[in-house]
């Protein structure tokens, strides 16, 4: 099945209608909380991250208080998120950078975000999009999988998929489409057993299973 520009537009229209009322699954009150939550979300469910951050931010609601907490206490607070030692190292280094260079505030500039320890393209895009309301497409495992299966964007790296999605999706919809693809991956286009028979995109999907 050849996926034309018209088919991609149809795919996006259906996704937009299906998931128009969805919101980010991570809970946060400000850019700092979102940044820390996204760092914690690597190889961890959003539900688990929300439990951890609810506990963490009661004790340490800002960069300075996390620095004051110390690495050992931080590790204990985020231990149930997995990869906690590496995450604690990056969070502590990022918080020190925020305190020393940005008065404890999260910078809104994308390239500056990328310079923070533990912040890659996905994290920077999420923060740019959600916290600062700027068009961006973050490619996590769900977005990567769904984009490739639909051939909305094809690539063997997150960067290639991100670049493909930026071409396929109107810029005004970048941030929204990011959420559409995530929720579609969670609800229907699952990694091990996609629910093709229940999927409204079935007839437009080159990867559909009979």
Domain that holds residue 158: 5-23+137-204
How many C-alpha atoms does 171 have within 13 Å on its Cβ side?
Answer: 3
Task: Flag whether 152 is in a domain.
Answer: yes
The residue out of 131, 159, 192 marking a domain boundary is: 131
State the pLDDT at residue 204: 96
92 and 118 both lie in a single domain: yes
The residue out of 97, 131, 165 marking a domain boundary is: 131
Answer whether 130's CB lies under 8 Å from 24's CB: yes
Cα-based torsion angle of the residue sequence 17, 183, 94, 133 in order, rounded to the nearest 10 degrees: 0
69 and 121 both lie in a single domain: yes
How many domains does the structure of the chain reveal? Answer: 2
Task: Flag whether 210 is in a domain.
Answer: no
Task: Flag whether 209 is in a domain.
Answer: no
- Taking only the tens place, the pLDDT of each residue in 60-115 is 999 999 999 999 999 999 999 988 999 999 999 999 999 999 999 999 999 999 99
Instruction: Give CA separation, 1 vs 8, 17, 138, 148, 206, in Å.
Output: 12, 24, 27, 13, 5
Task: Flag whether 55 is in a domain.
Answer: yes
Task: Flag whether 12 is in a domain.
Answer: yes
- Taking only the tens place, the pLDDT of each residue in 116-164 is 998 999 999 999 999 999 999 999 999 999 999 999 999 999 999 999 9
51 and 98 both lie in a single domain: yes
Q: State the CATH number of the domain containing residue 184.
A: 1.10.1670.10
Is 103 known to be catalytic?
no
42 and 19 both lie in a single domain: no
Instruction: Give CA separation, 61 vs 15, 58, 149, 158, in Å.
Output: 36, 6, 40, 31
Pick the catalytic residue from 8, 87, 140, 151.
Answer: 140
Is 46 known to be catalytic?
no
Mapped to the 3 state alphabet, what secondary structure does the chain carry? Answer: CCCCHHHHHHHHHHHHHHCCCCCCCCCCCCHHHHHHHHHHCCCCCHHHHHHHHHHHHHHCCCHHHHHHHCHHHHHHHCHHHCCHHHHHHHHHHHHHHHHHHHCCCCCCCHHHHHCCCCCCHHHHHHHHHHHCCCCCCCCCHHHHHHHHHHCCCCCCCHHHHHHHHHHHCCHHHHHHHHHHHHHHHHHCCCCCCCCHHHCCCHHHCCCCCC
Residue 81: Cβ within 10 Å count? 23
The residue out of 81, 115, 131 marking a domain boundary is: 131
Statement: the pTM of the whole predicted model exceeds 0.85: yes
147 and 188 both lie in a single domain: yes
Q: State the CATH number of the domain containing residue 74.
A: 1.10.340.30
Task: Flag whether 68 is in a domain.
Answer: yes
Answer whether 60's CB lies under 8 Å from 54's CB: no
120 and 148 both lie in a single domain: no
Q: Report the chain's mean pLDDT, rounded to a whole number.
A: 94
67 and 158 both lie in a single domain: no
pLDDT of 20 > 80? The answer is yes
Task: Flag whether 172 is in a domain.
Answer: yes
79 and 156 both lie in a single domain: no
44 and 117 both lie in a single domain: yes
Q: What does the pLDDT average to over 3-28?
A: 93
Pick the catalytic residue from 62, 122, 172, 193.
Answer: 122
């Amino acid at each position: 099945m050849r996926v034309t520009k018209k088919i991609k537009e149809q795919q996006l229209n259906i996704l937009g209608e299906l998931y128009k009322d969805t919101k980010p699954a991570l809970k946060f009150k400000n850019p700092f909380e979102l940044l820390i939550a996204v760092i914690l979300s690597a190889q961890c469910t959003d539900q688990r991250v929300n439990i951890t951050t609810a506990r963490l931010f009661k004790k340490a609601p800002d960069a300075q208080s996390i620095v004051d907490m110390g690495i050992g206490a931080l590790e204990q607070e985020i231990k149930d998120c997995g990869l906690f030692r590496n995450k604690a190292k990056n969070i502590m280094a990022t918080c020190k950078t925020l305190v020393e260079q940005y008065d404890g505030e999260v910078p809104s500039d994308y390239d500056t975000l990328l310079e923070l320890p533990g912040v890659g393209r996905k994290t920077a895009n999420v923060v740019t999009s959600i916290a600062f309301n700027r068009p961006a497409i973050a490619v996590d495992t769900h977005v990567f999988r769904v984009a490739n299966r639909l051939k909305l964007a094809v690539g063997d790296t997150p960067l290639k998929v991100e670049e493909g999605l930026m071409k396929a999706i109107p810029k005004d919809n970048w941030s929204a489409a990011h959420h559409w693809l995530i929720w579609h991956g969670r609800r229907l286009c699952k990694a091990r057993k996609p629910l093709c028979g229940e999927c409204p995109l079935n007839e437009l999907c080159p990867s559909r299973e009979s």
